[in-house]
Structure 1
Amino acid sequence: MKRETIYKRYKPSFTPNEKNSPSYWFVFNSDKLLINTENEFKIPFTENLNDFSISPVRTQYLGTLQGHPCYTVEAAPGTKAPEGMAFEDLRSIYDVLDEDIYLVAGRAVQVINWDKNHQFCGKCGTPTVTSEHEMAKVCPECGFTSFTRLSPAVITAIVNDDKILLAKHSYGLKRYSLIAGFVEAGETLEEAVQREIAEEVGVKVKNIKYFGSQPWPFPNSLMVGFTAEYNSGEIKVDGNEITDAKWFSAEEVPRMPSKISIASELIDWFVENY
């Protein structure tokens, strides 16, 4: 089931208007998020981050969630988590954090990394300044502007009669999942679907249809989901990214261990309809 838009509760902004208000603090140390590990899994919610003895290297305002300000913070190197808390990898805490908090955390880690990686102009090397009007870094010398980085990727459920094509990847958890890949310069999303499938498993598809999208902060992607019908060709894996691929019926589809990815939604769609 597709989630309700977070924008009913989260309002993005660049300039804080609230003063002395309890805030959500998304504190990162090497891309790991600070959370309370005792009782409920929560992030710091306080007026001042000094309450947690955290020294920020940099901070960016993100907007409000349920009316409360949100900030993303890079902790100083070597920062230790306060007692009862820990820095945890975002992938590992999907099932324990509130969904809204998790979604804003995905935005937060991308914004703080963008801030960290664009301290200097990529064109002339001058120190940049943060724009007051949009999420951008501006060079005061040459005017070159850097926005938050986003790398679109496509992921596709390929159906042949009553079976779905799943492939085993050579990286990550090495489980069977859908074909996915980054969009290359100069191609449409649909062309990226066709190219990735042909490159990785050697088949051609038709009737490509948009399914949905998902922000994917690992590290800065937008996953765009599609469904497609098998057209022609024999399965031939590339042997590099893909080590095996085969057709599965709805009864044979492996269980997905987490609902973190749009891949789970696409596979659930197949199981429910076939």
Structure 2
Amino acid sequence: MNYYWFVFFNSDLLLEKKSDGTYSVPLAGEPPVALKPGTRVLDISPMEDGTQVKAYYIESSLLEGSRYEWCGLRSSFYKLSNELYLKAGKCHELLYWDRSTQFCGVCGAPMKMYTNISKQCSSCGREVWPQLATAVIVLVHRGNEVLLVHARNFKSDFYGLVAGFVETGETLEEAVHREVMEETGIKIENLRYFGSQPWPYPCGLMVGFNADYVSGDIKLQAEELTNGNWFTKDTLPHIPEKLSIARKILDDWLDDHKQ
């Protein structure tokens, strides 16, 4: 039986380069990188066509031969099919979770796999599942303008959407209103759900919205943001890359404002 082997070195994914120049994830009966004693191999839910999936970490980036190469998980979006990219994200999240939950948080005993998405303590029986960090992201509209911001943690000069994590006991809608007010000082209304996106860096879920401006002047939260302003489609700054839901929301707005 052949398996898709999702092999990671830190956050880099092992890709196989085909003769036609395209890329895929190794598909074979045996792992593409030899397993060492103690290597944990996770069984992941199969692909849509039923092909079985396995995932594991390795401790060295050294490769033999030229068939394989390393690619950052984010960058693999541009080299893999969407199905393989999404599965790679899930594999990375589960490997991260597995490494972070080797021992029970209650009694300290070793945890063992119970299902492919849960563990059970070998002593007290406590069960744990992968934790998901849920965040909201919103494009605020004011007439033919939208609000874009530059966060301090951005690694380049692009502007994105107001975003933040959902707090305990908070609805998604409440989180959107709170984040916009905290980060920019403005009030919004008429929230419209756009869609959601797994964000496996390392274990997030982004929930996207559109909203309309009501009142207030922009007063940036200095701890989080370095800049922010209203932009029309003709004055847009550098915007997020296509793999992100922020870009998908912006592209949807731009499609609605084509001349």
TM-score normalised by L of structure 1: 0.87
The 5 Å alignment of 1:185-204 reads 185-204=168-187
- What is the CA distance between 1:79 and its match in structure 2? 4.6
Q: Percent identity?
A: 36
CA separation in 2, counterparts of 1:81 and 1:186?
Answer: 47
SS at match of 1:73: strand
Match of 1:151 among 123, 133, 137: 133
Q: CA deviation at 1:174?
A: 3.7
1:194-273 mapped onto 2 (5 Å cutoff): 194-254=177-237, 256=239, 258-273=241-256
8 A Cα contact 1:169 1:175, kept in partner: no
Change in Cα spacing, 1:269 to 1:60, as seen in structure 2 (3 Å) is: same
Aligned ranges 1:46-57 → 2 under 5 Å:
46-49=28-31, 51-55=32-36, 57=39
Residue 87 of structure 2 is aligned with which of 82, 90, 104?
Answer: 104
1:124-203 to 2 correspondence within 5 Å? 124-132=107-115, 135-172=117-154, 173-203=156-186
| SS of aligned partner of 1:121 | coil
| C-alpha distance in 2 between matches for 1:54 and 1:252 | 52
> How big is the shift at 1:67?
2.0
What's the TM-score once normalised by structure 2's chain length? 0.91
Distance 1:96 1:79 in 2: 19
Aligned counterparts of 2:12 and 2:55: Cα–Cα separation in 1: 12
Contact 2:136-2:207 at 8 Å conserved across structures: yes
How far did residue 37 of structure 1 move? 4.5
* Other structure's SS at 1:141 match: coil
Structure 2: distance between partners of 1:174 and 1:120: 41
The answer on whether the counterparts of 1:170 and 1:242 sit within 8 Å (CA) in structure 2 is yes
Please give the secondary structure, in 1, of the residue aligned with 2:24.
coil
Q: Which runs of 5+ in 2 are unaligned?
A: none
Question: Comparing 139-148 with 80-89, which one deviates more in the overlay?
Answer: 80-89
CA RMSD of aligned residues (A): 1.6
The SS at the match of 1:209 is strand
2:237 alignment partner AA: P
Where 1:58 maps in the other structure, the secondary structure is coil
Residues 88-144 of structure 1 show CA distances to partners (whole Å, capped at 9, x for unaligned) of 211122111121110100100001111111110011100011114x51111132222
> Aligned to 1:156, what secondary structure does the other structure show?
strand
Asked if the contact 1:81–1:87 (Cα under 8 Å) also holds between the matched residues in 2, the reply is no
How many residues align? The count is: 251
Paired residues of 1:29 and 1:79 also in contact (CA < 8 A): yes
Q: What is the Cα deviation at residue 71 of structure 1? A: 0.9
Unpaired stretches in structure 1, ≥5 consecutive residues: 1-20
How big is the shift at 1:219?
A: 1.2
Is the CA contact (8 Å cut-off) linking 1:154 and 1:226 kept in structure 2? yes
Q: Work out whether residues 114 and 148 of structure 1, in 8 Å CA contact, stay in contact via their aligned partners in 2.
A: yes
